[in-house]
Structures are given as C-alpha cells and as structure tokens.
Structure 1
Amino acid sequence: MPPVDEAELLARAALTRVVEPGDARAGRWVRELGAAEVVRLLTGPEEAGRELRGVGQERLAGYRKRAAAARPERDLELIAGAGGRFLCPGGAGWPSQLDDLGDARPLGLWLRGGADLRTWALKSVAVVGARACTPYGAHMAQTLGAGLAERGWVVVSGGAFGVDGSAHRGALAAGGATVAVLACGVDVPYPRGHAVLLGRIAAQGLLVGELPPGSHPTRSRFVLRNRVIAALTRGTVVVEAALRSGSLVTARRAGELGRFTMGVPGPATSGLSAGVHELLRGEGTLVTDADEVVELVGGMGELAPERRGPVLARDLLGPAAARVLEALPATGAADAEDVALAAGTATDEVIGRLYELHSLGFVERQGGGWRLTAHQRAGTTRTGVTRRGGR
C-alpha cells in the first residue's frame, strides 16, 4: 500500500486537535475535499471557512481557533519521542474495518508500541465491562484475557479500572497480545493508577487513541472511544455491566456494525449482571470461557469442547448390567430372585450379570445374597429392592 502523502498526513494530524472524535460532519468534509483542503479553509480568510457547510458560525469559529493553534509537526515529534507514530486511513498499517464507521471513522490514530495494528485487528476480540466490577467480574475478565491470548487472539479493551484492566493483565500474563484504546493521548497515563499497566501494554502490545499527544479525557470522549473498540474487533464480550453502561453501548455498536456481541452471565441478584442479562435476552450470545468466544468469532472448525459431566464407571455398563445394578438395594443384600423381580428379567440372566458386576468391582457376595460394594453404597441414594426376611 503506498504511503500517505505528507501534506495529507500533516493535515489529518492537525485535525485531531481541531475536531472531536467521531465528528461525522468533519469526516464528510475530509471525504469530499481532502484533509489538506479542509485545513486550508479553516486557517485561511474567514470567508473561505464559509465553504464548509453544515455548521453554525459559532462552531466554525471554534474550529478556526483550534486550527490556528494546531502544530502537527510538533505533535508528530512528540509521538515519535514517546516511541509512537501516527496512522492515516489508506496508509500502511491502517485497519480497514474502521472504515465501516463511515464519516465517523477516526481521522487518524496515534499509536505507541511496535506491533502492526492492521494485522492484530484481524484476529482480535474486545473484552469490556464495569469499572467498579466484583471479584467475580475481575476473575472472569482475566481468565478470558489469558485464554484468548493463549489461543492466539488479541485482547482489546479500554485500559480502565475493573474489567478492562483485568482483561489486559490476563493477556499480558499469558505472554499474549493486547491493545488499549484510550480516550486521551497515548502519552497520558490515565487512569493514573494504571500507569504501570499502560507502560507494560506499550512495551508488549499497543496503545491506541484518536487524540493527539497531551490530550486529556472527557466524559464524551469515553463514549466516542467505544465505537473504535467495537469496529476494530471481530466481536465484543461484556463481562459485567449495569443497565446504564458504556460497555453495553460498545456491544450494541458492535452489533450494528455486524460484529458478534457476547455476554458472560452473573448472579441474577447483582446490579452489575443486569445489563449483561438484558443483552443476552436480546442480541447477545452467552459465553463462559475463551473456547466459546473463539467458537463464535473464529474460523470454521474452531469449536468449543462438548460440555458434559464426569464419566462414571457405571456409565460404561451395558443396558442389561446397568438395570441389574440399579435393582440392588442401597443398603444390605438381596438374593438373585429378588433382584430379578426388581429388574424385570429372568433369574438366570441376573446371576450372569451379577457375576459380571462382581468382576468389575460393583457388587460383592454377602452370605447367600448380593450387595453393592462400599464404594458404590457411598455414591447412591437409591432404595432399590428389599431383602428377604427384612421387609
């Protein structure tokens, strides 16, 4: 893929200081005119700016003021000094699935870390959830993160406290790949309590953001950041979320974009399960581990193992022997005739099956009768038949 023209790259870098993430109006201007022309109109004479349609004079004045203050060369130097770079749509390394956002796609992405985002995004899953999660939520997020990483999937989240941080830690602990999509500059350690974690992600994975170096998060930027997480990945897993939750916004946006939406169930009595359960009642698919996630988002044949309880020795018996075993009393002994009556079969058949069960360790002789071995008596609650003389 050919490199992006330098003038276009500088213009897009400048526009990340001018417009807020997800501004579809500005995205339309860039699509129709090109980023360099949009910057020229914003920084030129006031009458030139009027060519930018669909915005009021007050908003346009704000754009012009920001454009006049933008120093894209300086921002590119700052990101390079932090070990990062700036990606543009159409350039090498750009994840084309972000183009599904239409005019609301990022004007560009600021990155820290050495990995190729385009390649990683092709096999990535978002794991998101509550910041104030429960120990159960943290455990499930970390387990999912580790399990997905061990299976070669990239774990994408938002770098926040709670579920996000647990998912990132799980992937890192498994020696896997993880991407944090931030609502601030990728050189800003936010939240501050995750400064060490974000440093580890930059070293082992990728920090990604739409905002230029030094930018700080706002409430709206967190919401707008979620659309990038949804579009970037093959599917979104919500671990814990209340009914009003940004994680649900991410999952539903993923569904609108044709991605998979998944949820991990929790206690019905927990408010942090309510949002996930509502998602599962609608468009979401229930998942409980990484195998089930990969079965949904992965390729053909990547199936989760069949779920079943432990196989007991008695499960391997043939129908006739199992019927005789079931006919024996839970306590005490019974003779072959009583067992035959309870099993509904001939006495000779029962005697043969009793000797078979004896050789397999299920029954033992007691006087003239038969009884379950101590191990079998401990594992049954059946009443079975009664003994002769003990009715």
Structure 2
Amino acid sequence: MLRSAVFGALAGLVGGLVFGVVMALVGFLPTVAAIVRTDSPVVGFAIHMVFAGIIGVIFGILVARQRELLFWGLTYGVLWWFMGPLTLLPLLLGRPVTWDVAAAQALLPSLFGHLVYGAVTAGVLMLLHENRPSRREGTGPALIRGAAFGFVGWVLVAVTISPLLDGRGLEWTPPAVRTAIAWLPPFLLCGAGVALSFSWLSSLSRAVLSDDVRQVRSRRLAGGKVISLWHGVLAGLAGGVIFTGVMVAVGFLPVVASLVGARSAVTGLVLHLLISQVVGVTYAVFFRRRSFDAASGIGWGVSYGFLWWVLGNLTLLPLLLGSSPQWTSAALALSFPSLVGHLAYGAVLGLVYQRLEQRVSPWHLTRSEAVAARSAARQEQTLSAAPALWSLITCVALLIPVLVA
C-alpha cells in the first residue's frame, strides 16, 4: 500500500502539473487561492498541487490491483469534478452548493481539466506499475470500450485540438462545447465501429490461424447459444415494456409508427416492442457470458442502451424517416427524454438477461462448479476496466444536459 501511495502521489503531481497549466490558461487559479483568502495565482497553483498529490495518493491505493488504468483515471477525474469544484470548493469558500445545469456549465473548463488530470495520472501510474496481462474481453465489452475511446477522441480532437489549430485558443466554454457537440455522436459511433471490427478480425484470425482446437471444443461443449438468443428476446421485451412508459409520456409512439407509414399509437407500440426484442437479441450475441452479477448486467446494459440512443434515436430513426442524423445540440436536448428511456431500457435488459443466463449452467458443469467459475470470472472482471467503462459511459450520458443546454 505504501508503494502504491508513493506512486500515486508522483502520478498525481505530474497530472496536477498539466492540469495546473490548463487552470492558468482558463484563469481558474485565483478561485482556488480564495480558499486561503487571497487571489494570487501562485498561491492557487501551490494549493492545487497539494490537492493533486493527495488525490493521486487515493487513486494509487484504489487502483493498486487494477490491470488497466486509463478509463479508471478518466472516471476518477469526472468523480472529482463533481466532488471538487461543484461541491467541496463552494463549501470551502463559504458558499452554498449549487448542483444545477448553470453552475455545471460554468465549470465546463474544469471538467475537461479534470479529465486531463485523470488521464495523465493514470498514464504515469501505468509507466510505474509492472505490466499486467489482461483477459480477452469479448465483442460486447470491446464495443463499449470503443465508444469510450470515441468520447476521449471527441474531447481531444473536436473540443481541444481543432480550436487550437484554428487559432481560437483553448475554447472549453459552453458556447464552444455546444458547437462541438455535433461531433460527439459520430465520434462515439466511429469508436464503437472500429472496436467492433477489430474484435471480429481478431476472432477470425484466431479461428483461421490457431491450431489449438481445445478452446473451440470447450466453447461448443458449453453450448446454449440458441437459449441465449431467447434470453435476449425476453430481456429485450422486458426493457421495452419499461421504455414504453417514457414513450407514452412524451407522445413518441406515433413517430415510431411512421416508420411503416402509420400514425397509430398502437402500431407504434407493437413496432417499438419488436425493435426492443431485436436489440435484445443483439445484446445476447455481443454480451453472452460477460455479466456475472447484477452490477455487471446493469453496467453493460446501461452502456448498450446509451449506445443505441446514439445509433437508433439520433441516427437511424431520422435516416429511416427521410431526414438527416439529428446530431445538433438542439436535437440532443430535445432527445433527452429518449435518452432516459434508453438508459432505463438498457438497465432492465442487462439485469433480466443476466438473471436468465445465470439460471442456465453448462451441462458439463455441476451447480457448485458453475458458481465457482462465475465467482472467479466476476473477480477477474472487477480487476479489468469494465466497471470504469460502465461508470464513464453513464457519466457521459448524465452530462448531456450540461453539454447542450
């Protein structure tokens, strides 16, 4: 633990140094200095570095056993944006805490700075830690990882590098972010698509080039693919029923019905439930045997629901209705109720699918062996980036109103 704390402190100081440069550029250091009743940027930088080192120590201890740190760092950065500028800083300055969209928008530069801090701190820790092998994660988790990389690419390219190349400087202001938000959906879809392609190509190369047939035989013995698809149908239907409440509340069922040239809410409901089951089947294909408890089921499900909000509601639905993808800030703001519905759909989908899958053990394993195997896989997944991916995607979804309002 001492070694992890020391490494965390060093990584936190390096991340704080980079973050401090950003804070100097956006003029935030005097606000930090106000904690000790001064407005000196030098004092503000010193206080900021102390906090960066302390937070780095905590991060180093928390991720001491983790195999992948980048997404843990990004998630940690977002967490400290909520805890720091939005919560602790106002309290230290003797002000009331304001958890509203306006206050969060005013602190958007700090949000991106915290993401930079988390990424740099995680990167330094990766250099200090010994190499740790990671397990093959499968197509579904790779899909979510790709979407997370898409978000990172959007922050790096559309929000940061593009304004710098245009000579506008570091534009992390709300108006600039609202302009750049139109690039967020394509970045998310591009990241997910690239990850999906690499996952398929990797599986194909193993199938073609590998001479060891034992793993293939083991997967065949496990069986259950047809049952898994039926589980996807049932889980998708359950999620669709929950999603229906949101669609009824916002009057969206006639829009769904217009896909087949109708305007009836009943037609829209039937079509919506059919689509929900199709999406459930794709979830079963991508995430089969990737959720080992309720938390992982909900985590993957919510992340998949968010991805389908981008792919379905913002992209495919407008295209099928003869329009263009709705990727503007205004369109994203209007689609927020649908985002809530997709997140609820994904949570129910992932949870129900995990519970159904858990009831079916491979025929060559006893019940106790299946429980032991599931427990070992759950522990292995906890040490991977999976929980950080769920958390980061959820944070991105929750930040949509802040980014577009």
TM-score range, shorter chain: under 0.3
Q: What TM-score do you get using the length of structure 2 for normalisation?
A: 0.23
Q: Normalized per residue, which structure has more strand? A: 1
Q: What TM-score do you get using the length of structure 1 for normalisation?
A: 0.24
Q: Normalized per residue, which structure has more helix? A: 2
Q: Highest Rg: 1 or 2?
A: 1
RCO higher in 1 or 2 (8 Å CA, sep ≥ 6)?
Answer: 2
